[in-house]
Amino acid sequence: MQSSGRCVSCDPERGCHQEGRGSVTERGDRSPRVTPGEVLRRVKAVGRCPAITQREHDHHDQRRGPGEESCPFADRHVSEPGDHLNKCYHRCESGRSTVPLARLHCIPTVTEAPASRRLDNGLMMHALEARHAPVISLWVWYHVGGRNEVPGTTGMSHFLEHMLFKGTPKHPKGDLDKLLARYGALWNAFTSEDVTCYFETVPAERYPVALELEADRMRNALITVEETEAERNVIVSEREGLENDPSFLLGEQLQAVAFARHPYAQGVIGSKDDIKLMTRDGLYAHYRRHYAPNNAYFIVAGDAPAEELLDRAASAFGSLDAEVPIESPKAPEPPQYGEK
């Protein structure tokens, strides 16, 4: 899959440039909140799910072995793997299966090491063949989050995450939703203190589409003044919604007390004042500094050989230029001589 062909140093809005907590999850209007811990919990839960076999989503698959039963929730259409996973997860958490023990099957434990490759532009890639379902899940992790912000710019990484759903010159806003929805894909993102992550789960044959999307928005995201102003209101509203939760306020205060100097004290979503003062140019500069192949990891697992998954990813990301590495702000904590 080829990149969009645009000059990677060009800003569609301003012209060309020479410059080379817990997590906050987005896409709430399209997908449920997902964090790394939640992903792990769901994987473990589905691993205990009764009667899950390979390719349980496709109830037309004739390749099941003798005696293998489908998951009791596998009567969903194949284009709804996320719904099926959620149903299995919630059912397993309840611990009240009515399936006889003799019919229980679990997803096989993955023991082999993933295939790995580093591209010339610095992108580190890991791939794992997983034949449990006819889908592929890919994750792009950027080494940028709340720790890369200073007072006055808190919440910038989270704000920028919103902006990467606004499209590119090749994939305008709205087209991405329609395209992925047509294929029954799930996609979302989250920001934490240390990373920002974007991920999709797509039917295996649509893997190239998801690759093209992620490679394109790694360097070609449209960040306009108009969209910045519109999204500012969304994020302020998100912040105000969190403030209605006492546990959020408590966690925010605890984090501020625990860290005297480190950016971890600031939280991920940022202060309301900083969100209101965020500028389009500041967001774009943050994007150009941190969204580059040499500041990212690409992780993929799914229904294809690992080397094939890596080959396709290399074709999509290999032509992108690296950026000059940027160090995170240094703010060592002072010695702690007593209990806080």
Say whether pLDDT at 113 is over 80.
yes
More confident residue, 182 or 106: 182
Q: How far is CA 310 from the centre of its chain?
A: 18
Distance between CA atoms of residues 233 and 152, nearest Å: 18
Residue 331 has a pLDDT of: 80
58, 78, 103: which is the final residue of a domain? Answer: 103
Q: Is 161 a catalytic residue?
A: yes
Q: Is residue 174 part of a domain?
A: yes
Q: Are residues 177 and 243 in the same domain?
A: yes
Average pLDDT, the chain: 77
Question: Which residues, at least 6 apart from 96, have a Cβ–Cβ distance to it below 8 Å?
Answer: none
66, 84, 103: which is the final residue of a domain? Answer: 103
Instruction: Show the tokens assigned to 78.
Output: 């194949």
Q: Are residues 183 and 56 in the same domain?
A: no
Q: Please tell me the pTM assigned to this model.
A: 0.70
Least confident stretch, 179-193, 231-245, 277-291:
179-193
pLDDT-based confidence at residue 255 (cuts at 50, 70, 90): very high
Q: Are residues 202 and 126 in the same domain?
A: yes
Average pLDDT over residues 89-97: 37
CATH of the domain at 196: 3.30.830.10
61, 78, 103: which is the final residue of a domain? Answer: 103
- Which residue out of 26, 69, 161, 200 is catalytically annotated? 161
Q: Please write the tens of the pLDDT for every residue from 200-213.
A: 999 999 999 999 99
Q: Are residues 58 and 127 in the same domain?
A: no
Say whether pLDDT at 85 is over 70.
no
> For the chain, what is the domain count?
2
Q: Are residues 240 and 285 in the same domain?
A: yes
Of the candidates 232, 241, 237, the one whose C-alpha atom is nearest the C-alpha of residue 274 is 232
Say whether pLDDT at 333 is over 60.
yes
Q: Is residue 329 part of a domain?
A: no
Q: Are residues 83 and 116 in the same domain?
A: no
Q: What b-and-e string marks burial along 157-190, b requiring 16 or more CB atoms within 10 Å of the CB? A: bbbbbbbbbbbbebbeeeebbebbeeebbbbbbb
Instruction: Show the tokens assigned to 110.
Output: 């993955």
Q: Is residue 328 part of a domain?
A: no
Q: Which domain does 231 fall in, by range? A: 112-317
Q: Is residue 300 part of a domain?
A: yes
- The identity of residue 106, as a single letter, is C
Residue 37 has a pLDDT of: 56
